[in-house]
Amino acid sequence: MVFLHRCPRRHCALLLLVVLQVLTPACFSDDTPSPETAALLLLKNSFTNATSLSSWTNSTGGGPCDSRWDGVICQKGSVAGLDLAGVGLSGDIDVDALAQLADLRTVSFADNYFSGGIPALNRLHTLRAIYLSRNLFSGDIPGDFFDDMTRLKKLCINDNDFTGLIPYSLSRASAMMELQLQNNHFAGTIPALVLPSLSAFNVSNNELEGVIPDVYSKFNASSFLGNENLCGEAQFGDQPCKEVVASNGKVAAIFVLVVFLICLVVYLITTREQKGEEPLDLDAMNDEKVMEAAKEVRFRRVQSIAKEGEVGQSRRMGSAENNGGGGGGGAGDLVMVNEVKGVFGLPELMKASAEVMGGGGMGSAYKAVMTSGVAVVVKRMRDMNRMGKEAFDGHLQRLGSLDHPNVLPPLAYHYRKDEKLFVYEYIPKGSLLYVLHGDRGIDHASLDWPRRAKIAKGVARGLAYLHDQFPSDEAEAAAPAPHGNLKSGNVLLAPDFEPLLVDYGFLPLLNPTAMTMQAHRAPEVAAGSGPATQRSDVFCLGVVLLELLTGKFPSQYLGDGAKAGGGGTDVVHWATYAVGEGREAEILDPTIVAGPHGAAWVPEMKRLVRVGVDCSAAEPERRIELREAVARIEEVAAGGRDGAGQRPS
Ligand SMILES: *[C@@H]1O[C@H](CO)[C@@H](O)[C@H](O)[C@H]1NC(C)=O
Ligand SMILES: *[C@@H]1O[C@H](CO)[C@@H](O)[C@H](O)[C@H]1NC(C)=O
């Protein structure tokens, strides 16, 4: 003690630590519960009536998997699931405790008495299934709640008292198979979630309204019953829709408000920066709040916008005054990098009528139609702080100056530290992903073979152009992939089905942590054994080709974890096998083969399958060069060795 008293505090702590570390293995190991035991006991503690969990005890010395604790599902000796359905629980769910269970994949708290807001299970990014059915949960679910739940496959939260909008962020869970939302009080319109693997869906008995989006056409009326103001031809026949009236005007008003708030914040920050002051953390927080508020407004259901909007508007204007900000932002806030669609600034965007397009891969997007008639998409992106502002400017100028019929350059951008806005021309038809898997309407039907061949050719040419513009020495291992994020969701289709590549060239901008979310489809990148390089782009091209040919949603888009569970089709494996057996014809999308003259084109289709397979070899060295891929695709698209063009007539 005397010794401890004399030494400086910090050293004492260190000394104690050393002593404890030496002692721990020898003295304490028998009593120290394993981390999983500790976590589950903490969880049990957060419940109010855990009488049914008497087997959850540390007294036997065995962990949850050794001693078979009730409701604990183990795999390979660690906790993979919790099935606590119908055991009379109430109280809280300690998510911190759950977060200690690294291998946890499914949780069920169904049929209990839990109440309050939805528990923060979205912190457990690796969850595949969540069951909260038949409890007493209530309140709105934040719109971005599922942003990081990209692996979620089953979400059952039916028979509770949830209110507000169905979160658009569910679209991030691209492997989603089952969504049970019935018997709650969800309101507003149903978001068009493009979830190709969705096979069970129920939103019955809520307060939803408006038109059921086409993406749900495979579900019949039984999934939508008991929502008075819901209509949809596929489900309810021609019964007329109560118009969701005048939504555009109101959404426009909201958009103006959002842009105004952004301008205001920018204005405040830039004036402060000009004064040479560091922006205060406080302001950053306000800024976050403003964005959150804006987001909230955006997601509020259209019909209640009138009231909400007015109230919210005056309230927020008030708070803006409190912040000491008076006018709107200056016109210089937007940096033009491409002027083919004219020059505009934030003021023009402010006057635009606009609508929310929902989240794509990395952030949310709005569509805005300016008074000049030019329609643009404004994308918000996060996690782009790898480059300093100057280098960022330079890189964006380069992206903006790209000029190729199959590449869509950004028109303008706006730079802030924690968020960037990118403005692109709006392309009405949407992405190849959407037309191929999401929309079974007119555009899908028109994806016949000549059009698919045209898309294949355009994608390959656009990619080759990017490779020319951003050359990198093959020997230089770390040279980033010129595109870096090629997938059907990033291939937009012009009115004539000419493909346009977007979201390319971002790898040098992305924070290293965000990079793992990008371009993870090539095996060497997924395995972490290499960065995304030119050859990873070739792999991604192969996947897009095989997706076009098979019409299947590639499991490659879902990342590693989801693959095993069967979301999507491993098109690479499937096609490689088919080529090996000489059975390419069997994997072709029946729609193209059955289409006009489809059968006559089968030899070309088979040749393209082989190109796709040659692009997507697992080992990067075995993939063909992009040059070769382009040449072979062009030959196929031209209709044969003789390049005779449109062969059948
Ligand atoms: C507590 O749980 C037990 C076991 O499921 C149940 O029988 C009992 O009714 C519950 N008590 C309360 C107050 O909810
Ligand atoms: C959806 O839920 C409602 C209400 O629980 C039920 O009547 C209906 O059969 C369900 N439909 C489907 C397709 O599961």
Quickly list DSSP for 482-497.
Answer: SS---SGGGEEE-TT-
Ligand nearest to the backbone CA of 88: 1
**pLDDT above 70 (res 10):** no
> Ligand 2 center to residue 204 CA distance, Å?
6
> What are the residues facing 229 on neighbouring strands?
209
> Ligand 1 center to residue 81 CA distance, Å?
23
Mean pLDDT of 419-448: 80
Q: Is the CB of 133 under 6 A from ligand 2?
A: no
**pLDDT above 70 (res 255):** no
Percentage of the residues of the chain whose pLDDT score is greater than 90 = 36
For ligand 2, pick from 154, 178, 182 the residue to mutate: most ligand atoms within 8 Å of CB: 182
> Ligand 1 center to residue 87 CA distance, Å?
7
What pLDDT is stored for residue 363 in this prediction? 58
**Tokens coding 441:** 């309407």
Cβ < 6 A, ligand 1 pocket: 49, 51-52, 87-88
What pLDDT is stored for residue 518 in this prediction? 47
Mean pLDDT of 268-280: 36
Ligand nearest to the backbone CA of 87: 1
For ligand 2, pick from 202, 205, 219, 220 the residue to mutate: most ligand atoms within 8 Å of CB: 202
- Mean pLDDT is lowest, of 24-33, 52-61, 67-76, 161-170, for 24-33
Length of the chain: 649
What pLDDT is stored for residue 364 in this prediction? 67
What pLDDT is stored for residue 88 in this prediction? 92
Q: How confident is residue 109, by pLDDT bands cut at 50, 70 and 90?
A: very high
Q: Is the CB of 205 under 6 A from ligand 2?
A: yes
What pLDDT is stored for residue 194 in this prediction? 85
What pLDDT is stored for residue 416 in this prediction? 81
For ligand 2, pick from 225, 227, 230, 235 the residue to mutate: most ligand atoms within 8 Å of CB: 225
Q: How confident is residue 472, by pLDDT bands cut at 50, 70 and 90?
A: low
Report whether 204 contacts 182 (CB < 8 A): yes
Residue predicted with more confidence, 333 or 314: 333
Closest CA to 267 of 325, 350, 351, 335: 325
Q: Is the CB of 202 under 6 A from ligand 2?
A: yes
Work out the mean pLDDT of the chain and round it to a whole number.
76
What pLDDT is stored for residue 312 in this prediction? 30
> Ligand 2 center to residue 131 CA distance, Å?
17
Would you state the torsion angle of the CA atoms of residues 278, 364, 291, 147, taken in this order, to the nearest 10 degrees?
-100
> Ligand 1 center to residue 49 CA distance, Å?
6
| Strand positions, DSSP E, 84-212 | 106-108, 115-116, 129-131, 136-140, 154-156, 161-164, 178-180, 185-188, 200-202, 207-211
In angstroms, rounded to a whole number, what is the distance separating the alpha carbons of residues 537 and 630?
13
Q: What domains can you pick out in the chain, each with its CATH number?
A: 245-284 (no CATH), 293-425 (3.30.200.20), 432-638 (1.10.510.10)
At 329, phi and psi to the nearest 5?
-85, 170
Q: Is the CB of 556 under 6 A from ligand 2?
A: no
> Ligand 1 center to residue 108 CA distance, Å?
18
> Ligand 1 center to residue 135 CA distance, Å?
14
Mean pLDDT of 281-294: 32
- What is the Cα Rg of the chain in Å? 27
| C-alpha distance across the termini of the chain, in Å | 98
For ligand 2, pick from 177, 201, 216, 223 the residue to mutate: most ligand atoms within 8 Å of CB: 223
What's the gap between Cα 98 and its chain centre?
A: 24
Which amino acid residue places its CA nearest to atom 8 of ligand 2? 222
> Ligand 1 center to residue 110 CA distance, Å?
15
Q: Give the pLDDT confidence of 503-557 residue by residue, as tens digits.
A: 888 877 776 665 544 444 677 777 666 667 888 899 999 999 999 999 888 888 8
Q: How confident is residue 356, by pLDDT bands cut at 50, 70 and 90?
A: low
What pLDDT is stored for residue 251 in this prediction? 44
Q: Is the CB of 184 under 6 A from ligand 2?
A: no
Ligand nearest to the backbone CA of 199: 2
pTM comes to: 0.50
Mean pLDDT of 28-44: 78
In angstroms, rounded to a whole number, what is the distance separating the alpha carbons of residues 504 and 509?
11
Mean pLDDT of 357-370: 65
**Tokens coding 600:** 């006559």
Residue predicted with more confidence, 402 or 441: 402
Which amino acid residue places its CA nearest to atom 13 of ligand 2? 223
Q: How confident is residue 304, by pLDDT bands cut at 50, 70 and 90?
A: very low
Which amino acid residue places its CA nearest to atom 9 of ligand 1? 88
**Tokens coding 64:** 């949850």
Ligand nearest to the backbone CA of 223: 2
Residue predicted with more confidence, 370 or 27: 370
